Each structure stands twice: as C-alpha cells, then as structure tokens.
C-alpha cells in the first residue's frame, strides 16, 4: 500500500507537536485515571496510537482464534473421558477434584483469549488464556478515550473507524451459558468474584457499571463475601444466580477455606459459574503440546492439524525421554540444551510472564539452571516451546511521562473469544521480549479501519 494511505503513516502525519508534548500526556493520564484505566498505580496507555486492524487481518485472526477455541473444548471433552490426558496436561490432584464437578452446561470457556502475533504473511500463537482473561473492560473504555482525541477526528476524515463491542458481547455469552445451565431469572443477579485489592479491581467496577446499564444487576465481591446455606449462594446479603469468576483456580486451590462457599455452591448446582472449572484443561500451557504432538492427532481433523502446524509453536512438557520434532525422533533433554537459541522455557501454569525464560536472551549456564529447576519440579510443571516470530511497529511513546518519541515496540494482538466468537482484541506493547501489563508493558485499543474512497 502507498505509504501516504497506510493508516499508521496517516495517523503519524496528522499528529501535531502539541499532541506529542508531555503536557498532552499529563491530560491523557488524568483522563485515564478519571476513567479508572489503571493497573495498580500505573495508567494503562503511555502511547499515542491505537492498533489499526484491516478487515483482512480481522478475518485471518478470527478464523484461527475461533478454531483454537473449538479445539480447546474438544480437548476438554476428551480429557474428561480419558484421564490420562489430564496427566499429559499436568493437572494437579486438587485441580482434578474441581474439574470433576459437573458445571451444568457444555462450554468450559465462556470467555477466553488467544495471545497472538499477527504478521503480514503469518499468524503466530503464543498462549491460550482459557480461564479468566482480563482487560476487555479497560480496552473498551480506552477506545472511548481515543475516540475523543482531536487526532482521531482528523483521522476519521481519511478512514472509517469502528471500535469493538466487548463488554456487551461478553455479557451475552455469560447469559447464554446461564440459560443453557437452566437459569430462569430475568435478569439474573451477577457477582463478579475475585480477591479484594487485586490490581484489576477497577476493571470489575467498570464491568459492574456496564452490566448494570445493560439491565443486569451486578455486584463485585471477594470469595470471602460468599455464603452458601445448602440452597442459595449469597454475596453481601444478596442471592446470586450467576458467578462471573475472575478469581483464579490456583487461588481457589491455595485458599480452600476462603473459597469453600463458592465450591460447595457449584457442587450443589446452586449457582451457574463461568468460566467453569473445566476451563483449566485447555488453560494449561501444555495444551499446545497436545495440539502439536502426533500422538494426539486423532483428536483433530486434517484441516485443523494444518492450521495448528501453521500457527501454533511446537511445544512439549519438559521430561526425560524421546519425542518428535519436525517428523524425526529426538531425545528431548539434549535437544533443549543444544537448541537454546530457538526455545522458550515456561511454567505450565503461570501468568503475567512469570518464570518465562527466553533462550536467545539467556546464557548457556543460566539456561541449564532453569532446565535443572524444571526437571526437579513435580511432573508436568514446565513446558518447552519453539521461538515464534513476533510483530514490531513504531508507536509514539510518552516514556517516563516526557514528550512522545517514536519507538519500535513489540505488539501482542490477543483476540477475545466470547461464546466461541471473536469479539475484539487486547493489544499490548512492550520494549522487551514479553508483552503483558503485569511485567511492565502497556496497552492500546484496537480499531477496525477501512480507507474512505
């Protein structure tokens, strides 16, 4: 495309010195704080450009992410019928107890998110967050902030710009799971549940406002606020019909007493909860090992296997023994040691980039130390994954709150999948090899764009 017509170039050409000034960022940051667009003490977006998504790119990502969600649900079904698959995925005994609870409806992941890198000629998946994807409430509100910018008004003279509807789409998916579960309340009372004081609490308040505006009464509470009398689950004195669970399963297993009412209500089918505990099955990073190992090819069609080959990195659980790579048999541990520059080591069940070791940024001795740590951990605790190609773009960055400087950033474009359909994107930027808010990155909204004729 002619550079004069590329959305990125047009946006940058329309920015004025005032737009790029530290004073402008002070105003932007004040707006974000007023809109509760904060993660702890930090504002979400120190950048002055959204991600522009073309109709073609939207379609490419949509086709892959929705297929991956289907495969996740299929692996759940297979694992519930074949417990040896739970071994392959590394589920702990306390997690198995939870996934054994019948949720009352079919879909394990009412909401999920695929962390991807979209390039001109490829699409690479990094992880699948099938449990409790955060950020869409922030993302939708951040898009509203960008829509009010003077630069956006100038940009709209050249392009049609459409924001993605995230919160309403998620609510529709929650309601579909609730109706399938057998819920009849119209509307049901929703409780958004997580630990009070987590840095994403402000997002829960944003979602509470939005759900309530859409006609669904909603409260935000801590698991310790829940009470179950054997018949009804209550939170802060109110009967609850639908739990939108944001508290992580790891936290539930680590704090069983504090989460007892939540678990007992699910066991008694006294409340509908989304996501169900079974979402933990595809949430494990070893899910990609199931997808990329020929031993499990019977679970997938030929076209699905072809899509996995194109977009999902080769992944294996770290353990002694032989496996396959590019059609040949290998000894896994020597392969991991020798191929450091093209591999990543990750805990099988962490988030926010915790424990991720990039081989190409790590010395041989440090890499061997992480591998030894993985081998000393309980079986199924670590995975190894091939390096993927990442996307980089130039963004105006108010680094440190000063004037914006055009900076090359890593771009993680993560589609949200609600009720099996892509609703929009979480877009995270980073100057390092890891793109997530908890490790210090930032986010920008994504907009669907089409050039005006």
Contact criterion met (CB below 8 Å) for 283 and 131? yes
Same domain, 371 and 341: yes
Residue that terminates a domain, selected from 360, 386, 412: 386
Contact criterion met (CB below 8 Å) for 390 and 124? yes
Beta bridge partners of 451: 159
**CB within 8 A of 97, min separation 6: which ones?**
none
Contact criterion met (CB below 8 Å) for 357 and 345? yes
C-alpha span between 192 and 48 (Å, rounded): 32
C-alpha span between 134 and 419 (Å, rounded): 16
Question: What separation, in Å, do the N-terminal and C-terminal C-alpha atoms of the chain show?
Answer: 14
Q: Which residue has the tokens 């009470």?
A: 227
Residue 140 lies in a domain: yes
- For residue 358, the enclosing domain spans 314-386
Same domain, 233 and 369: no
Number of domains in the chain: 2
Tens digits of residue pLDDT in 190-234: 999 999 989 889 999 999 999 999 999 999 999 999 999 999 999
Residue 376 lies in a domain: yes
> What ranges make up the beta strands (E) of 152-247?
159-163, 190-193, 218-221, 226-228, 233-235, 238-239, 242-245
Instruction: Report which DSSP code applies to 50.
Output: P
Full 3-state SS string of 186-206: CCCCEEEECCCCCCCHHHHHH
Residue 209 lies in a domain: yes
Beta bridge partners of 233: 228
Contact criterion met (CB below 8 Å) for 204 and 221? no
pLDDT of residue 438: 46
Same domain, 55 and 143: yes
Tens digits of residue pLDDT in 251-295: 999 999 999 999 999 999 999 999 999 999 999 999 999 999 999
Instruction: Report which DSSP code applies to 248.
Output: -
Low pLDDT (below 70) residues in the chain: 1-4, 433-441
Residue 308 lies in a domain: no
CATH number of the domain at 433, please: 3.40.50.1760
pLDDT of residue 39: 80
Same domain, 368 and 398: no
C-alpha span between 284 and 374 (Å, rounded): 16
Q: Which of 88, 74, 78, 116 is nearest to 312 (CA)?
A: 116
Same domain, 398 and 377: no
Residue that terminates a domain, selected from 332, 362, 386: 386
Contact criterion met (CB below 8 Å) for 293 and 323? yes
Q: Which long-range contacts (CB under 8 A, 24 or more apart) does 91-95 make?
A: 91/280, 91/281, 91/284, 91/380, 92/253, 92/378, 94/253, 94/256, 95/249, 95/253, 95/277, 95/280
User: Starting at the edge strand that comes first in sequence, how are the strands of the sheet with 159-163 ordered?
Assistant: 51-53, 446-451, 159-163
SS3 29: helix
Residue that terminates a domain, selected from 366, 386, 406: 386
Same domain, 367 and 444: no
pLDDT of residue 439: 44
pLDDT of residue 403: 95
Same domain, 406 and 367: no
SS3 394: strand
Q: What is the DSSP string of 351-386?
A: -TTTT-EEGGGS-HHHHHHHHHHHHHSPTTSEEEEE
Residue 303 lies in a domain: no
Count of residues making up the chain: 453
Same domain, 219 and 235: yes
Same domain, 165 and 251: yes
Residue 109 lies in a domain: yes
Q: What angle do CA 414, 417, 420 make, to 5 degrees?
A: 150
**CB within 8 A of 224, min separation 6: which ones?**
258
Contact criterion met (CB below 8 Å) for 315 and 289? yes
Same domain, 54 and 167: yes
SS3 256: coil
Same domain, 181 and 278: yes
Same domain, 381 and 398: no
Beta bridge partners of 115: 127
Helix (H) or strand (E) holding 80: helix 55-81
**Can you read off the two tokens belonging to residue 52?**
């522009």
């Amino acid at each position: 495309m002619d550079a004069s017509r590329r959305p990125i170039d047009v946006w940058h050409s329309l920015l004025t010195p005032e737009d790029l000034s530290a004073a402008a960022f002070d105003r932007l940051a004040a707006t974000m704080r007023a809109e509760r667009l904060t993660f702890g003490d930090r504002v979400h977006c120190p950048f002055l450009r959204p991600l522009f998504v073309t109709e073609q790119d939207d379609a490419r990502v949509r086709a892959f992410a929705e297929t991956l969600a289907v495969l996740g649900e299929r692996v759940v079904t297979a694992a519930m019928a074949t417990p040896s698959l739970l071994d392959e995925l590394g589920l702990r005994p306390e997690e198995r107890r939870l996934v054994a609870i019948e949720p009352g409806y079919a879909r394990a992941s009412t909401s999920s998110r695929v962390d991807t890198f979209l390039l001109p000629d490829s699409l690479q998946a990094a992880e699948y967050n099938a449990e409790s994807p955060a950020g869409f409430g922030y993302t939708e509100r951040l898009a509203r902030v960008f829509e009010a910018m003077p630069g956006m008004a100038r940009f709209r003279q050249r392009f049609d710009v459409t924001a993605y509807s995230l919160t309403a789409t998620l609510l529709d998916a929650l309601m579909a799971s609730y109706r399938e579960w057998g819920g009849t309340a119209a509307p049901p009372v929703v409780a958004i549940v997580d630990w009070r004081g987590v840095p994403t609490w402000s997002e829960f308040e944003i979602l509470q406002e939005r759900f309530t505006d859409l006609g669904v009464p909603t409260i935000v509470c801590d698991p310790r606020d829940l009470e179950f009398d054997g018949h009804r689950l209550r939170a802060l004195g109110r009967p609850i019909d639908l739990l939108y669970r944001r508290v992580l399963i790891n936290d539930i297993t680590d704090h069983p007493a504090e989460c007892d009412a939540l678990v007992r209500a699910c066991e008694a089918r006294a409340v509908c909860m989304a996501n169900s505990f079974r979402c933990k099955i595809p949430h494990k990073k070893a899910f990609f090992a199931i997808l990329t190992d020929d031993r499990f090819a019977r679970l997938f069609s030929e076209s699905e296997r072809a899509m996995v080959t194109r977009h999902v990195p080769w992944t294996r659980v770290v353990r002694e023994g032989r496996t396959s790579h590019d059609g040949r048999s290998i000894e896994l541990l020597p392969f991991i040691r020798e191929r450091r520059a093209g591999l990543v080591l990750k805990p099988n069940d962490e988030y926010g980039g915790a424990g991720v070791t990039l081989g190409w940024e790590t010395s041989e001795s440090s890499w061997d130390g992480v591998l030894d740590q993985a081998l000393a951990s309980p079986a199924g605790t670590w995975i190894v994954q091939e390096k993927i190609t990442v996307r980089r773009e130039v963004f105006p960055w108010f680094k440190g709150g000063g004037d914006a400087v055009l900076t090359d950033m890593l771009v993680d474009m993560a589609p949200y999948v609600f009720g099996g359909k892509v609703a929009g994107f979480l877009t995270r930027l980073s100057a390092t090899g890891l793109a997530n808010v908890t490790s210090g990155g930032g986010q920008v909204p994504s907009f669907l764009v089409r050039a005006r004729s």
